[in-house]
């Protein structure tokens, strides 16, 4: 028997209670983009074009903090339980849960095909084959960060992934073999986030209030940007740009040449501040809900209010479907 919320996902949308409606609506997924938001144990799915809620999936325990979409349209997720979830957000169901972590999960990412990676409070990076038979999905364990919390893991080359941790280290590994490629300790406090801004450059954000640019092949640090507050997350933008979310509630956008372009004041001082760049908008979470800023201005174009006024948004993520 799998523990926690793994076998007790509840469908909250009456829209999908009818098999007839479900089969009709399934035809309309093609070439659409959606936003996922998490309030407590509930995942809400929104149509990005209309801001209308499609449906919600409640998990009786746990709180999701990270999503990654797979090529087949399924979505991997991780949070304060010890298993990685594989969700079918079209049908609003849990497909399976992948065991392996000993503590809560901080981040999940897609690597290639059916392969994903996750990391967590147990200080480990796990590689999964999501298409493998039950109990055989975990194909590799990378235990490098001295049992410190690993905050992020992302793919950086065709064979390598990078991870960052509370031990102030950014490290690179071959995910196929588990071989250590390089590791550096340039930060002086927790490294909270990683993102790729181009094919050769990795950016790390830290609680030491700095952003560092790394050459993914050599591990050399090429540039350091000093910020006003601790870095919560760094998210890739469009055309080599990236977005930086800080602990003082500010969101900074940087161009492909690492110049600061604009600052958005979200008033959100919470731990889970994040942002997404989408078609001329910067989407972010606030204490009131999801806010859509017009890129490069302080004006907002629209807002999706909190569903549960007593809750807060843990994270947001964009997913899309390009096939039926």
Q: Tell me the domain boundaries of the chain.
A: 227-324
Token pair, residue 133, equals 């038979």
pLDDT (tens digit, 9 = 90+) per residue, 40-82?
889 999 999 999 999 999 986 678 999 999 999 999 999 988 9
28 Cβ contact partners less than 8 Å away, ≥ 6 residues apart: none
CA atoms within 13 A on the CB side of 294: 5
Asked if CATH classification 3.30.70 holds for the domain at 227-324, the reply, yes or no, is: no
Distance of CA 284 to the CA centre of its chain: 13
In the DSSP assignment, the letter for residue 308 is S
Quick one: which H or E segment has residue 86?
A: strand 84-88
Split at pLDDT 50, 70, 90, the class of 273 is: confident
- pLDDT at res. 227: 93
Q: Which helix (H) or strand (E) holds 24?
A: helix 19-25
Q: How far apart, in whole angstroms, are the C-alpha atoms of residue 51 and residue 34?
A: 9
The burial of 169, by beta-carbon neighbours within 10 Å (0-12 exposed, 13-18 middle, 19 or more buried), is given as buried
């Amino acid at each position: 028997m799998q523990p926690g919320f793994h076998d007790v996902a509840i469908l909250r949308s009456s829209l999908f209670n009818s098999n007839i409606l479900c089969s009709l609506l399934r035809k309309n997924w093609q070439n659409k983009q959606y936003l996922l938001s998490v309030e407590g144990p509930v995942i809400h799915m929104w149509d990005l074009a209309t801001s209308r809620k499609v449906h919600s999936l409640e998990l009786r325990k746990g709180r999701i903090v990270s999503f990654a979409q797979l090529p087949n349209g399924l979505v991997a997720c991780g949070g304060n339980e010890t298993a990685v979830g594989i969700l079918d957000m079209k049908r609003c169901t849990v497909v399976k849960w992948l065991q392996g972590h000993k503590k809560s999960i901080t981040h999940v990412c897609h690597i290639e095909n059916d392969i994903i990676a996750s990391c967590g409070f147990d200080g480990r990076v796990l590689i999964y084959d999501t298409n493998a038979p039950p109990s055989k999905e975990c194909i590799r364990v990378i235990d490098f960060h001295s049992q410190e919390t690993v905050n992020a893991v992302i793919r950086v080359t065709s064979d390598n992934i990078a991870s960052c941790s509370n031990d102030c280290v950014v490290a690179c590994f071959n995910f196929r073999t588990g071989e250590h490629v390089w590791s550096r300790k340039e930060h002086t406090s927790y490294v909270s986030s990683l993102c790729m801004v181009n094919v050769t450059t990795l950016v790390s954000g830290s609680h030491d209030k700095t952003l560092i640019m790394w050459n993914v092949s050599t591990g050399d640090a090429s540039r350091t940007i000093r910020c006003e507050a601790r870095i919560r997350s760094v998210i890739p933008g469009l055309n080599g740009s990236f977005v930086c979310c800080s602990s003082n509630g500010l969101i900074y956008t940087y161009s492909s040449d690492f110049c600061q372009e604009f600052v958005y004041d979200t008033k959100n001082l919470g731990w889970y501040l994040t942002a997404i760049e989408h078609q001329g908008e910067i989407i972010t979470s606030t204490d009131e809900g999801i806010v859509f800023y017009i890129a490069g201005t302080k004006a907002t174009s629209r807002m999706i209010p909190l569903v549960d006024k007593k809750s807060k948004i843990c994270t947001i993520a964009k997913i899309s479907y390009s096939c039926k």
